[in-house]
Amino acid sequence: MSVFPGFGPNAEFHTLTTDDGVTMRVVVEGTGPDVVFVPGGDQIAEAYSQQFARLSDSFRCISYDPRGAGTTTAPPPPWRMEDYARDCAAVIDAFCGGRATVTGLSLGGLVTQATAIGFPDKVALAIPMGTAAYIDGFTRDWMQAEIDLRKQGIRLPDFFLAPHYAPYAFPATALNDPELWSQIKASYTERFRDRNPQDTIDQWQACLDFDCREALKTCPVPFHVISFSEDVQTPPAMCKVVSDLVPQGTFHEIPGLGHVSLVRHRPDVVATKLREILDSEMAAN
């Protein structure tokens, strides 16, 4: 069982080195308007392979390994969300002619917001998913606990990895599906078994340090914010703060999905929503 489903045979793999000294693995598939998919925390480009499979017939889909994941290398941390935004902007310049739609889940949703704020001329449309303008409450306490656990040198045993992380990612209906659970269990065990603890610390700390509430109020980029009704990490109310703050904000809540349901659980539902948003925006413009 692979960590993430793989890309199709038409996917192209590239290497991009930025002026900031970041070298990223970039994946491109499809033809049409450019859509950049920013991976979430602990994720690589393959987290969007099932979206590519469903959208690359109409859109040119681009993703990459972010700082702290996959084969991408970057200057030493600490990293700020603004650093992640510069990386995304570099991908847009190199592969999209300087302007694209940007979407991302979790950490990728924060990067989507930061890119729209810092580089509004490069972002035609922002679609952050499972996101927040500022992380607080349970989510902050949970993420800080994960960071502190790693700082103390504690490593979770293999048998505990999937039972620990999967409930934060999938709804109960998914976890109670024996066939799906066998896939999740295998992939999450493999995914987190050799994960560098420092990479998780650095990625998650950048998320906790990010606060774009004031900056969103004057961001000129249109936003479509996607939330998931069964999302434990970033519940719909947290996502709605983003759409309420930005001047051109639209809020969507997809019922029955969890934080990472776009991988293996219901990628079709997420792809349908993305296509609906993209088609409607193109028709309007």
pLDDT tens, position by position, 92-132: 999 999 999 999 999 999 999 999 999 999 999 999 999 99
Mean local confidence (pLDDT), 78-103: 98
Q: What is the pLDDT of residue 206?
A: 97
The Cα–Cα gap between 134 and 215 comes to 11
Q: What is the pLDDT of residue 134?
A: 98
Instruction: Tell me 81's DSSP state.
Output: H
Alpha helices in 122-224 (DSSP H): 137-151, 158-169, 172-175, 178-193, 197-209, 213-216
Q: What is the pLDDT of residue 265?
A: 97
The Cα–Cα gap between 282 and 119 comes to 21
Note the Cα 199 to chain centre separation in Å: 16
Q: What is the pLDDT of residue 1?
A: 52
% of the chain at pLDDT higher than 90: 95
| CA–CA distances in Å: residue 250 to residues 101, 128, 255, 274 | 15, 11, 16, 13
> What would the two tokens of residue 37 be?
């998919």
pLDDT tens, position by position, 175-234: 999 999 999 999 999 999 989 999 999 999 999 999 999 999 999 999 999 999 999 999
Please state whether 197 falls in left (phi above 0), alpha (psi between -120 and 50) or beta.
alpha
Beta strands, E only, the chain: 12-17, 23-29, 34-38, 60-64, 100-105, 123-129, 223-228, 249-254
User: Mean pLDDT, the chain, as a whole number?
Assistant: 96
The pLDDT confidence band at residue 282, using thresholds 50, 70 and 90, is confident
Q: For domain 12-284, which CATH number applies: 3.30.1370.60, 3.40.630.30, 3.40.50.1820, 3.90.550.10?
A: 3.40.50.1820
% of the chain at pLDDT higher than 70: 99
Element (H, E) at 8: none
Instruction: Say which residues have a Cβ less than 8 Å from residue 17's Cβ, sequence separation at least 6.
Output: 23, 24
Nearest to 242 by CA among 262, 213, 215, 270: 213
Domain boundaries, the chain: 12-284
Nearest to 184 by CA among 156, 176, 254: 176
